[in-house]
Amino acid sequence: MVGKSAIVPSIVIMCLPIKDFIIFVLLISGFSVGSEQKLFEDLFEGYNKRVRPVKNFTHAVNVLFNVRVTQIADVDERNQVLKTNAWTYQEWTDETLVWDPADYDGLSEIRVPATEVWLPDITLYNNADSHDYVADNTSSSNAIVSYEGRVILKSKPTLLKSTCKIYVKYFPFDAQACKLKFGSWTFSGLQINLLNHSSKPNLDDYILNEQWQLVRAQTERHVKEYDCCPETYIDVTFFLCLSRKPMYYIYNLIIPCLLLCALALTGFFMPYSVGVVKASISVTLILSLTVFLLLVAEMMPRTSEEIPLIGQYYLATMCLISLSTAMNVAVLNVHGCRREVPQWIRLIVLRYLAAFVCMGKCCSEPGALYRAMGKEKTDQNNCKNSSILHLRDNSLHGLKNDSRHTMSSYQELTLDDFGQSKFGKIEHHVEQIFRHLKTVQRRMDKKSNIREQWACVAAVLDKALMYLFFLATVVTTLYLLLQDPGDPDELCLQSIANGVL
């Protein structure tokens, strides 16, 4: 019987599962089940994670909340979204998760999956994505539970996408104030008392951004009533004040525009002989500015409230270059005029305006101005024509005198009336040719004089318009690009105080 009684327990042990067999062996050997496992089983036996962990339902659960910001990933100006790399910190007291460490071998805290305990439904109010990053990353982490019932929950690092009102007026010298607003979605202030853990978010691991500088980080707690509900709701809002680093935009957007404006001035120095090329260069510059303006428009949100200063600068520059094109066309038309210069133009342009632009001496000597404008070839041709006519005039006068001398000699020799009459007709025709040549010469001189006067008028107008274009470009650039947006820190404080955010 003894042998049979010893064999039966052995058969029973052999039939047990491996896990239970190991536990049975440990018990037989004198070892006990781990204190942590025993504590977990004791704590969550009958535990209900669907209700608030308070013994008196009139009491609120105090929840400390903070955000650890590690990086400003991106500021999407077009969609007005702030992307932040961060993780959250929550701490509250669970009155049902308490124990005496002496009963569990001095074990004072335990780590359990966050899905096993009650969690406050803290969410990002101004979330810009349909995915709830706060809830998902919180539930996938572990909660640290102490023997006093204190629960600490640290979410996994995540990318938060929050809405942010972008003010584009001073772009690219702007500063933006964005916020991360956290609060309970269903529990009022009577059920969850949300408290800020510190006066600002945790920035111990913050990584500097190449485009934005974090000038201020501040935390504020708000108690607010909403139209939907009679109770008050509490939120903890983290304000992040960012100042843009403008070097990238100065190098890629502003400097090219300044160079195009300077290139527009070269149109006033081009000779009039190039014709339409003088105006076509301005059209090319306008097309170039349009390309840059499209680049700026792609960066900015589609808003009708404000136009960024750089956009205003591009538009103003396009208008100025368009006006310079019209100026060049007008000057080309003035240079091509062939009628008599009106007296009022002589008075206003050639007298007063020429003296104002330091061209009074050139206009008093039209020939000198004409040569200075690169018309030496035309001037030389006129000189050649005048020399030829003068030579012809001398030759014909000589021929006339020789004819008279020959005729006198012939009269003395032959006294032929017929010959005398013949030479008289020749003399008459020669005199008519002389008068005609002198008339043509006077007409040519008059046309040349008129052409030189209009050239002088065009040169004066061209120089005056060049000065005007240069002055307008400088004033526009200084007025639009040197506006002071103010201290970013003060702007942030003002925005927070006025409740703009």
8 A C-beta contact, residue 337 and residue 454: yes
**Fold for the domain defined by 40-244:** Acetylcholine Binding Protein; Chain: A, (2.70.170)
Residue 114: Cβ-neighbour burial (10 angstroms; 0-12, 13-18, 19+): buried
Please, where are the H alpha helices in 354-416? 354-356, 360-364, 366-372, 376-413
Query: CA nearest 236: which of 180, 281, 292?
Result: 180
Predicted local confidence at residue 81, as pLDDT? 93
Question: Can you give the pLDDT of all 501 residues of the chain as single tens digits?
Answer: 334 444 434 444 444 455 455 444 444 433 345 788 899 999 898 899 999 999 898 899 999 999 999 999 999 988 899 999 999 999 999 999 999 999 998 899 999 999 899 999 999 999 988 777 776 767 778 999 999 999 999 988 889 999 998 888 888 888 888 999 999 998 999 999 999 888 888 898 899 998 999 999 989 999 988 887 788 999 999 999 999 998 988 888 888 888 888 888 887 777 776 667 777 887 888 888 888 888 888 877 777 778 888 888 888 888 888 888 888 788 777 776 777 777 787 777 777 777 777 766 655 544 444 444 444 444 444 444 444 445 445 544 544 454 444 444 444 444 455 556 666 777 777 777 777 777 777 777 667 777 777 778 778 888 888 888 889 888 988 888 888 787 877 877 777 776 544
* Whether pTM exceeds 0.75: no
C-alpha to C-alpha distance for 358 and 360, rounded to whole angstroms: 6
Domain range list for the chain: 40-244, 246-364+438-496
Three-state SS for 110-169 is EEEEHHHCCCCCEEECCECCCCCHHHHHHHCCEEEEECCCEEEEECCCEEEEEECCCCCC
d(CA 153, CA 418): 139
Q: CB–CB of 169/306 below 8 Å?
A: yes
Secondary structure class of 240 (helix, strand, coil): strand
